[in-house]
Chain A
Amino acid sequence: MTTTTEKAATVAKTGVPLAGFGKLVVSEAKLVLRDTAGVVIPIGLPMLIMLMNGMGSDGEGIPEFGGLPVLDALIVPMTIVMVVALVGVVNLPSFLATYRKTGVLKRLSVTPMPPMLVLVAQTVVSFVQSLIGVGLALMLAVLAFDVSAPRSPLLAIGVFLLLAATMYAVGMLVAAVSPTPNSSVAIGLVAFFAMMAGGGGFGGRDALPEWLATIGAYLPYGAGIDGLSAAWMGAAPNVLPLVTSGGIAVLAAGAAIMVFRKN
């Protein structure tokens, strides 16, 4: 080469400014808020179902539930799981699949912001949305039906965190395998209803064939309900389904990241 070539040393070594990630989270939050259906349904629907169940129950303690009414021991845990599952498995993938399909991630990959951090930002926003949804549902439960606090609050928090991690991981996998944004909503809904049905979301697992009930108990939805029930009753949780749920979280997240990387 006859001409001078720019020296690499003149380009300063730089990374992603932390402020950039903060801005990304705020931006994702605004986008989630502007998607009205995505805000209202995951928060409103579970509360509505809880309200209807609550109005029909007599609030009498049941011995099998450690003396707690059905509402405390079962309905409230089901409501919490439903909020987290709707946000994680239906809402989250609809955003991520759109970003993947429309080139949002590709455009980011030529900026200093790694596209993977959008997934993280969306997860942060989803987590906050789940917290708000669960917070509102609990408030309603306490104000309207005088539902008691869980007897093992730490277990309740632990199960909630595990549940959130699992649902977001499954949501990311749904986004990763969906060929189009629309199909991600379809796949997400099918995954949601399958887990909900197996987990006893439609009138309890007793109504299911035994083999299906067993599978459902080990899937994140059922494991979450049982774990939260145990927390409310102050009983010892069934550990194996929770561990399985954690394993599903790790596998799903790993698979999702692999698929995202490949594209």
Chain B
Amino acid sequence: MTVIAVDALRKSYRDTEVLKDISFDVERGEIFGILGPNGAGKTTTVECLSGLRVPDSGSVSVLGLDPRKDRARLRQVLGVQLQNGMLPDALQVVEAVELYRSFYRSGADPDELIAGLGLAEKRKTRVSALSGGQFQRLAIALALVGRPRIAILDELTTGLDPQARRDTWRFIENMRDSGVTVILVTHFLEEAQRLCDRIAVIDKGRIAALDSPLDLIKKAGGEPRVTFRTERPFDTTALRSADGVTSVTTHGTQNPETVVTGSGNLLLTVTTVLAAQGIAPLETQVRSASLDDAYFALIGHDAKELSA
């Protein structure tokens, strides 16, 4: 069942065309990722979904509602975490959750929600005294306290340390398991690959690709690669002609590094060919194709700074 339908969205700020042609559908119960470099139009897209911005043209339907005309109804069923949406510093965690709970006709029990997000010990802590990870968990609590059917999370894990990021991922998965459809805006490829059922890659205001992470990788032609060093240069002819090998590159003269890409059981192919030539590979590494490869193939190298 489609819960969000976006069709031919366009939006300009002054002279800059931020969204040129954005169309996608989101199915109930999925984690739908919106991925792209800074300034690609990710936040503007979700702001159109939540009714914060009006598109210049195109249509948006969320749970069958128009985000602008049916604001009041949509607000009751849509949970939103904003990239820079804040709370008064002096408010306590429990006060914030109870306050937000009171805005909704029905919703979660504030104390259960706080405990579920691991904030029980911070109940009485002021917002200003929370760590980045704790604050983001509070942001999740506020997005979920009205028991929304759709949650929009915009760069939820930006600025978190790896442990806090992983904890947050677990909460997002729990969210999906409880039946909430999640729109996840991110620029972390690892996060998108791990969490998302489908990903829309947005670049320069357009959808560059829309697929499951696996299919994105496949379609972008990403292949596994085997990297190894040898004591001295060797003849790579046999390796090049081996079954399943698509490319072989070597660089360096002292302990040269060789990179082999291809399909099938590439590691077995490589070790078999080298053994036949009496060569012992050093520091062998196998890396399967990742979303990174697919992403950079789609976006181009000018987006490299995002690979963190």
Contact = CB atoms under 8 A, between A and B. Distances in A.
A107 B143 CA distance: 10
Given A1-B5, A20-B102, A20-B103, A102 B63 contact: no
A3 B27 contact: yes
B65 A8 contact: yes
B210 interface: no
B90 A16 contact: no
A261 interface: no
B103 A6 contact: no
B75 interface: yes
A1 B105 CA distance: 32
A137 B84 CA distance: 42
Contacts of A16: 72, 103
A52 interface: no
Interface in B235-275: none
Contacts of A13: 72-73
A27 to B, nearest CB: 5
B104 A112 contact: yes
A6 B100 contact: no
A110 B49 CA distance: 11
Contact of A109 (B52, B61, B87, B102): B52
A111 B87 contact: no
Interface stretch (B91-99, B113-121, B129-137): B91-99
A8 B76 CA distance: 13
Give the size category of A's interface with B: 35 or more
A111 B146 contact: yes
A110 B153 CA distance: 12
Contact of A6 (B28, B50, B78, B98): B28
Contact of A17 (B27, B91, B102): B102
Nearest to B64: A8
A35 B72 contact: no
Contact of B85 (A19, A30, A107, A113): A107
B88 interface: yes
B136 to A, nearest CB: 14
Contact of B63 (A10, A24, A111, A112): A10
A4 B73 contact: no
A151 interface: no
B98 A23 contact: yes
Nearest to B5: A5
A113 B87 CA distance: 14
B103 A5 contact: no
Contacts of B80: 110
Nearest to A4: B1
A14 B105 contact: yes
Interface string B4-32: 01000000000000000000010110000
A73 to B, nearest CB: 41
Nearest to A28: B88
A103 B84 contact: yes
A134 B9 CA distance: 55
Contacts of A106: 52, 82, 84-85
A17 B75 CA distance: 12
A5 B1 CA distance: 6
B76 A12 contact: yes
A13 B77 CA distance: 11
B103 A11 contact: no
Given A17-B103, A22-B102, 11 more contacts: A1-B2, A5-B64, A8-B65, A11-B64, A23-B98, A23-B102, A24-B102, A27-B91, A102-B88, A106-B85, A107-B86
